[in-house]
Amino acid sequence: MCQLLGMNCNVPTDVTFSFTGFAQRGGKTDHHSDGWGIAFFEGKGLRHFVDHQAAVESPVAELIRRYPIKSKNVIAHIRKATQGVVSLQNCHPFVRELWGRYWVFAHNGDLKDFRPRLHSHFRPVGDTDSEHAFCWIMQELAKSHANVPSIQELTLTLKDLAIRLSCCGTFNFLLSNGSALWSHASTSLYYIERRHP
């Protein structure tokens, strides 16, 4: 399965150190070599980079390692394909717009035979269970809230949706709209909390 890196900070923070170590797991210190990606918010804007090459071999990953990334919310993903071919369109994180904001999603897990009925404007480009899950989440958020909900309301809705998706298989994810970062683990959740001295 894939690996996830998420960062949520109260001030724009440098992610280069964490990303450099994380990227090594994409083909050097681990066998996750089916693509990678990173998305980071700058205000309401978003920078999004993906590549179907292993992170340790990717010239795009090298660019990111040298780029002075400072952001409050970052999501990175290293892929080990369980569903969908190794291709650019299947690399996480995925991005969609809802309520005039970018939303970023990355998934670790395997949702067996998960192909929900998608009847809104959220459609997958690739053929992964992950992107189908993201489109379904965005669709259900839009159906559940006519206007922009509070972080607390979003958290309650996402908790319900995550429980429903976890019934389909392993479902670990990171999701951000630039204001908050949500994580869910149907397996074990590991995190590091760093504080300024």
Catalytic residues: 2
Measured over the CA atoms of residue 97, residue 20, residue 110 and residue 176, the dihedral's sign is negative
Q: Indicate the DSSP class of residue 6.
A: E
Question: Do the Cβ atoms of 133 and 171 come closer than 8 Å?
Answer: yes
- Distance between CA atoms of 9 and 71, rounded to whole angstroms? 8
- Distance between CA atoms of 35 and 87, rounded to whole angstroms? 8
Question: Do the Cβ atoms of 114 and 156 come closer than 8 Å?
Answer: no
Closest by CA position to 106, among listed 10, 194, 184: 184
Q: Tokens at residue 162, please?
A: 């995550």
- Distance between CA atoms of 1 and 129, rounded to whole angstroms? 12
Give me the helix-helix angle, 129-144 and 151-166, nearest 10°: 140
